[in-house]
Amino acid sequence: MANITDVAKLAGVSHQTVSRVLNDEGTVRPATRARVDAAIRELNYRPSAAARALVTRKTRMVGLITTGAPLYGPASTTLAFNEAARAAGYRVSIASMASADRAAMVSAVDVLLGQDVEALVLIVSDYAVFDALSGLDVTVPLVAAESSGRAGFHSVSIDQYSGARTAVRHLIDLGHREILHIAGPTGSVDAAERERGWRDELELAKLPVQRPFVGTWFPESGYTIGTDLIRRRALGASAATAIFSGNDQMALGVLHALTDAGLAAPDDVSIVGFDDIPEAAHFPPPLSTVRQDFTDLGARMMETLLSVLDGRPAVAAEHKAPELVVRASTAPPRS
């Protein structure tokens, strides 16, 4: 197996020069750097991460904490962040857990800090995670994908609040005057922001705001809620004519309930989802929804992390607005 001395000999330079190239120091001339890079490729040299860390005092490793079920949005963000980290030359150590209780969080943080990670990244779903972290002595920077703007860490997100308002405004512009909301689980950061957007847009239009129906993010809860609404005759021309669903999967459950009852969207009820999962365009009917760019979110998280680690001024919390995608599940209400 080739070592740094072999690379230096083949490239005709000192091993200190090879070290500077490996550590991406800017003091090496381009022609010399090219010779070293060519030697590394020819010898298939793989530098020791432990040895590099001893020299640079940097492990080029970040810890990633994820919680909750493996839903499309968090899973896509995790994948995108991992790709962005790899492209930047960082390794990612992941701690995934279903529960966000304090004991689990303490254990995850201890394990990751024990690996000398340079920063912690949070892709989490519940306020409980931030409550658990608030009392911990975390000595590395924190970067989180969350949209509530809580203090104590660098926040990068997709603006759930404005996305919800855009979805509800679309239904109002179509002529709907009673718009129900199926929310995500209590305690979810994203669910709270989407519910807040729904409520504020209705209040701005001086339309009635009913108590939201709380789901689980999964289709089964949408089906159960939809079935109950149909049984109580709470949907249709003489009742609510539109539903804003907290995500696409619960919207799928509502569509299933409508089909079972001999009803359909958008003839009887218009439905807007959230996320634009790959299947949304193929629902019966194709679902109007709010599209989130999870690839961009993962990349922006890594950009923020690099800025913090490089000692550059941290940018203000960045919350990009998502995009409304109009498909066949929404239309003006029938007279």
Does 89 share its domain with 122? yes
Is 89 a member of any domain?
yes
Is 334 a member of any domain?
no
Does 80 share its domain with 130? yes
Domain stops at, among 55, 82, 98: 55
Contact 295, 311 (CB under 8 A): no
What distances in angstroms separate CA 126 from CA 107, 142, 154, 197, one per listed residue? 17, 16, 17, 18
Domain stops at, among 254, 275, 292: 292
Using the CB atoms, write b or e for 279-304: b if 16+ within 10 Å: ebeebebebbbbbbbbeebbbbbbbb
- Residues 6 or more apart from 282 whose CB is under 8 A from it? none
Cα distance between residue 47 and residue 169, in whole Å: 55
DSSP letters for 80-141 = HHHHHHHHTT-EEEEEEES---HHHHHHHHHHHHHTT-S-EEEE--BHHHHHHHHTS---S-
Of 174 and 40, more confident: 174
Q: How many domains does the chain have?
A: 3
Does 202 share its domain with 151? no
Is 117 a member of any domain?
yes
Cα distance between residue 272 and residue 264, in whole Å: 14
First to last CA, the chain: 77
Does 188 share its domain with 242? yes
Does 202 share its domain with 282? yes
Question: What integer best gives the mean pLDDT of the chain?
Answer: 88
Is 249 a member of any domain?
yes
Is 332 a member of any domain?
no
What distances in angstroms separate CA 288 from CA 63, 167, 179, 235, 241, one per listed residue? 36, 9, 15, 18, 15
Mean pLDDT of 139-161: 81
Give me the pLDDT at residue 146, please: 79
pLDDT at residue 144 is higher than 80: yes
Does 48 share its domain with 67? no
Is 79 a member of any domain?
yes
Give me the pLDDT at residue 199, please: 98
Does 191 share its domain with 108? no
Does 221 share its domain with 239? yes
Does 263 share its domain with 179? yes
Domain span including residue 9: 4-55
Does 74 share its domain with 135? yes
Does 22 share its domain with 114? no
* Chain-centre distance for alpha carbon 54: 34
What distances in angstroms separate CA 246 from CA 142, 159, 162, 216, 235, one per listed residue? 27, 14, 13, 10, 18
pLDDT band at 165 (very low <50, low <70, confident <90, very high): very high
CATH of the domain at 187: 3.40.50.2300
Give me the pLDDT at residue 152, please: 64
What distances in angstroms separate CA 78 from CA 56, 66, 90, 108, one per listed residue? 27, 8, 14, 17
Is 329 a member of any domain?
no
Does 154 share its domain with 175? no
pLDDT at residue 48 is higher than 60: no
Of 39-43, 49-53, 170-174, the range with the lowest mean pLDDT is: 49-53
CATH of the domain at 26: 1.10.260.40
Of 55-64, 113-122, 200-209, the range with the lowest mean pLDDT is: 55-64
Give me the pLDDT at residue 313, please: 64
Mean pLDDT of 287-293: 97
Give the pTM: 0.81
Is 326 a member of any domain?
no
Give the type of residue at 288.
Answer: S
Per-residue pLDDT tens over the stretch 55-83 = 445 678 999 999 888 889 999 999 999 99
